[in-house]
Structures are given as C-alpha cells and as structure tokens.
Amino acid sequence: MRLLLFLGCAAVALCIVRGCSPRNFADSPSHRCFCQVTGYLDDCTCDVETIDAFNNFKLFPKLQKLLESDYFRYYKVNLKKPCPFWDVVSHCGIKDCAVKPCHTSEIPDGIKSSGFKYSEEANRHVGELVDCEKAERLGAVDESLSVETQQAFLQWANHDDSGDNFCEADDEHSPDAEYVDLLLNPERYTGYKGPDAWKIWNIIYEENCFKPQTIKRPLNPLASSRGDNEDNTFYNWLEGLCVEKRAFYRLISGLHASINIHLSARYLLQETWLEQIWGHNASEFQKRFDTVLTKGEGARRLRNLYFLYLIELRAASKVLPFIERLGFQLFTGDKARDTENKKLLLEILQDVKSFPLHFDENSLFAGNKKDADKLKEEFRLHFRNISRIMDCVGCFKCRLWGKLQTQGLGTALKILFSEKQIENLPERGPTYGFQLTRQEIVAFFNAFGRISTSIKELENFRNLLLNTQ
Ligand SMILES: *[C@@H]1O[C@H](CO)[C@@H](O)[C@H](O)[C@H]1NC(C)=O
Ligand SMILES: *[C@@H]1O[C@H](CO)[C@@H](O)[C@H](O)[C@H]1NC(C)=O
C-alpha cells in the first residue's frame, strides 16, 4: 500500500514536470487550461489519464448511441413547478431558452403505458412501506438539527416515496408533467447569463454546500468585496471538512464545470435569419478554465469534473445486477429494438465494471453508524434542496437540463448509498426492495452521458487551444 502511494506521488510529480515545466510553452493557451489537470485525483485512487482513455475511446461512443434510442430520449418532467424559494424572473423572452414538449401522439405507446404501470407498481409498494419507513426516519431526526431543518425534513418525509431518494422527483401524474425529447432540445448556449444565472449557483454554493457565511468563496461574482487571501481561507476551510462534505462540494463544482463545458462547446457562433451555427468557442472556455484568468480555479473545477465522473461511473457499475435481471426491460413496445438496446446497455455496463480504478464509496459515510447516518441524512437533505432550487432557474432550457442532471446525480447517490440490496434480486416481478423508476433511469444515464461528453469535449478544446498560440 505504501509503495502504491509512493508510486502515485511519483506519477503526479512526473506529470507536473512534464506538463507544467516553464520551458514547455508555459504561456500557451492549452497549457494554461490543462497543465494542472493531470495525474492523481484527490480523495480517490484514480488518475486523469486513465479516465480520458477509458471514456473517450470505450464508453463515450456507445453511450451516445444508447441515448439516441426512444427509451432514453423522452424524459418526463414538470417545468412549471413553482420555485419554492423566491419569485423567478422569467427568461421566456430568450428564444433559445424555449423547450418544446412532445405531443402525446409522438411518444411510443410502450413508454406511456409502461411509465404508468411502473409507477403504479411502485406506488403500491410504497404504500406498504411508507408508514414504518417514515417512523424510522422521523426517529432518526437528530435534536441538534435546527427547527427549520427538522420541518423541511418532515415535509419531505411526508411525500417521500422511498427512504433512499436524494432528489425530489416530479410527480409524473401531474397534468403539468410533459414528455420532452432531449435530442430536439439539446443542452447548449442560451444567452441566459449574468446576475440571474449567477444567483442560482451562488445560492447553491453559499447556502447549500455546508459553507459558513464568513468564509468567502473565491471569484464569487456576487460578493461585495474581495480580499487577497480569501482563496486560501476557502481552501483551508474545505480541506478541514470531513471527506463527505468535501465530496458534496466537489460534486456540485463538477456539475457546474460540466454545464459550462457544454455551453462553450455548443456556443451560438453565428445567426442569420436563415440559420443558426453552433460550435466550439475556445475563448469562452478559457474564460472559465484558464488557470491565469481564473486564478487557479479552472484546474480545480476540471479536477472536480473528473471526480464527478468517477462517482457516476461507480454507480453505473453497481447498478448492473439490477439491470441484468430478466424482468428488466427498456420497454417501448418495439420488441426487437428493446432487446437490442438492453444488449447495448449491458455491454456498456460490463465495460464500466471492468474499469480498473473505481471509486470506493465505502470510504464515505464510514465509521460510527449513528454519526454516519446523521451525516448521510444531512447530505441527502442538502442535495434534495438543490434539486428544488432547479425549479427556480429562469431559463426553461437550463431548467430542463439542470433538473435532469441533478436527478441523474441524485439517482447515482441513491444507487451508491442505498441500504437496500441491489444484488440477488428476483429475476422477474417487483423487487420489493431496491427500485428505480423509468424517470430515474432515463435521468441517470443521460446525466452520465453529459459528464462523459464533457470529458470528451476537453480533448476537443485541448486540440483547439493547441492551434491558437
Ligand atoms: C466567444 O465567446 C466570447 C465570450 O467569451 C465572445 O465575446 C465571442 O464573441 C464569442 N465568439 C463567437 C465567434 O461567437
Ligand atoms: C434550502 O435552500 C434555501 C435557499 O437557498 C435555503 O434558504 C435553505 O436554508 C436550504 N435548506 C437546507 C435544509 O439546506
């Protein structure tokens, strides 16, 4: 073990020498975005290069193909849910923010009916469990939580459909929930930016990431004043946190980075009355990730993206036994295609399983059970709150992808930290234990696809920036 650690450090040192040596185009744009994004990642035993090779050549092409199938392209979502925290300034005026829901007739019958069947089954199952689960969870409320937190907790427990959930899922039966074709409404640059967009991330980081108000976040565009030593204070604080809270922050930061990569990679480059041209905008990318322009924040953001990737990768590996069951179908009603898609999905998950340096989720929420459970509950509470904040995003396109990606990450966390067994479930029929709805499955794999795309896009930006000296 010590030898391994030593080798790890040596590898980092080597990479730093190779990648960041001042003789080596120290000031080139590519170098300034990527030289610190290499080698081993903090809090895990994996390195950036292994992830790049695995994702870009193996996973990415297959996953993209899968996500184009009918099962995965239609996501049912309620974009009209009111924001629970403040009055939202609508950005309907921005054309590229619009989301066009599907007409019911466009949705394959199998999806409409199986979605219904699935949730009916799930509801029945929840009805049986909900009372004792509720009692258990309420019993777990710790006296040290504030009154508001306890109240929020009670509210969630009341309409909670499973003790496992990290997200507040949309009610699929609400008349406002509609199917959206994700391929026709891609995540890309919308023009939604400035104070309203900052506000969302600001509230997430300031009020939902365990951060005390007195610690200032570096480069916060909404902060009134910025001192010189704030960066250090912030990172000293972060390093002092327990590994779980630090992981929480890094997941959020990774998600933020991923979304910004998509917006830079599908930027509106040109618009005439005839057509819109979307493509890579390298200077937008640099603005967010260049080490000099971001005072070192860019590299941290990108490393957090890799951390997020590892979390989703591990969840995908862990959910394999659930998907492998004979009774699990990607049901759209087209039998031949459904079988083909399940085969492709299993192939992807086998690849994922063979990845050599998986994140070890047992390193989180370990130790004393009572403390670990309390921490997990806090973690869950914060994450759920973030999923509700997504209803406050003013631009519908961003709201759609924000909701999908938080639900996807929430599902990954549910898979990783569920106390219900995922292995050895019955081959067919209801499992009465670990359960995923179609909405969760669609969100999880699409969210994973987004992160996988981000990692792939980093390669594109690296090449683009190499050509701009
Ligand atoms: C790229 O983004 C920058 C902002 O970072 C913007 O000023 C510039 O006009 C964009 N380039 C194109 C071709 O749209
Ligand atoms: C939920 O988010 C709101 C808005 O940021 C915040 O005021 C509240 O404290 C958060 N609650 C929890 C439990 O995180």
d(CA 227, CA 231): 9
> Would the annotation count 188 as a binding residue?
yes
Which contacts qualify for 79-84: CB closer than 8 Å, 24 or more apart? 79/176, 79/178, 79/180, 79/396, 79/399, 79/400, 79/403, 80/176, 81/170, 81/176, 81/391, 82/391, 83/389, 83/391, 83/392, 84/388, 84/391, 84/392
463 lines ligand 1 (CB under 6 A): no
208 lines ligand 2 (CB under 6 A): yes
Q: Pick the atom of ligand 1 nearest to 283's CA.
A: 5
Q: Pick the atom of ligand 1 nearest to 284's CA.
A: 5
φ, ψ of residue 392 to 5 degrees: the values are -100, 0
User: Nearest C-alpha to atom 10 of ligand 1 is from which residue?
Assistant: 281
Instruction: Look at residues 398, 395, 397, 412 and name the one whose alpha carbon lies nearest to residue 447.
Output: 412
Give residue 442's pLDDT: 95
User: Nearest C-alpha to atom 13 of ligand 1 is from which residue?
Assistant: 269
- Tell me the Cα Rg of the chain: 22
Give residue 137's pLDDT: 33
Instruction: Look at residues 208, 257, 158 and name the one whose alpha carbon lies nearest to residue 381.
Output: 208
Give residue 123's pLDDT: 36
Give residue 151's pLDDT: 46
- In sequence order, what DSSP letters do the residues of 253-301 get, joined into one string? HHHHHHHHHHHHHTEEEEE-SS-EEEE--HHHHHHHH-TTTTTTHHHHH
86 lines ligand 2 (CB under 6 A): no
d(CA 336, CA 347): 17
Q: Are 189 and 96 in contact (CB under 8 A)?
A: yes
Name, in order, each residue with C-beta under 8 angstroms of 133's C-beta and a sequence gap of 6 or more.
Answer: 160, 162, 163
d(CA 402, CA 174): 20
Please report, in tens digits, the pLDDT of each residue of the chain (469 residues total): 343 433 333 333 333 333 444 444 567 788 887 878 887 777 777 788 999 999 999 999 999 999 999 999 999 999 988 898 888 777 666 778 888 888 877 888 778 764 433 333 333 333 333 332 333 333 333 333 444 444 444 443 333 445 678 877 777 777 888 899 999 988 888 878 777 777 888 888 888 888 888 888 887 777 765 555 556 788 888 888 888 888 888 999 999 999 999 999 999 999 888 888 999 999 999 999 998 888 888 999 999 999 999 999 999 999 999 999 988 889 888 889 999 999 999 999 999 999 988 888 888 888 888 888 888 888 888 898 888 999 998 888 889 999 999 999 999 999 998 888 888 888 876 667 788 889 999 999 999 999 999 999 999 999 999 887 5
> Would the annotation count 256 as a binding residue?
yes
Q: Provide the annotated active-site residues.
A: 395, 398
User: Nearest C-alpha to atom 9 of ligand 1 is from which residue?
Assistant: 269
Ligand located closest to 277 CA: 1
d(CA 440, CA 375): 24
> Would the annotation count 337 as a binding residue?
no
> Would the annotation count 452 as a binding residue?
no
320 lines ligand 2 (CB under 6 A): no
- In sequence order, what DSSP letters do the residues of 104-127 get, joined into one string? GGGS-HHHHHHHHHHHHHHHHHHH
Q: Pick the atom of ligand 2 nearest to 206's CA.
A: 5
Give residue 440's pLDDT: 94
d(CA 112, CA 178): 11
Q: Are 195 and 222 in contact (CB under 8 A)?
A: yes
pLDDT tens digits, residue range 349-403?
999 999 988 888 888 888 888 888 888 888 888 898 888 999 998 888 889 999 9
Q: Which amino acid is at 21?
A: S
Q: Pick the atom of ligand 2 nearest to 153's CA.
A: 13
286 lines ligand 1 (CB under 6 A): no
Give residue 120's pLDDT: 35
269 lines ligand 1 (CB under 6 A): yes
> Would the annotation count 332 as a binding residue?
no
Strands (E), 25-94: 74-78
pTM confidence score: 0.83
Name, in order, each residue with C-beta under 8 angstroms of 456's C-beta and a sequence gap of 6 or more.
Answer: 55, 56, 60
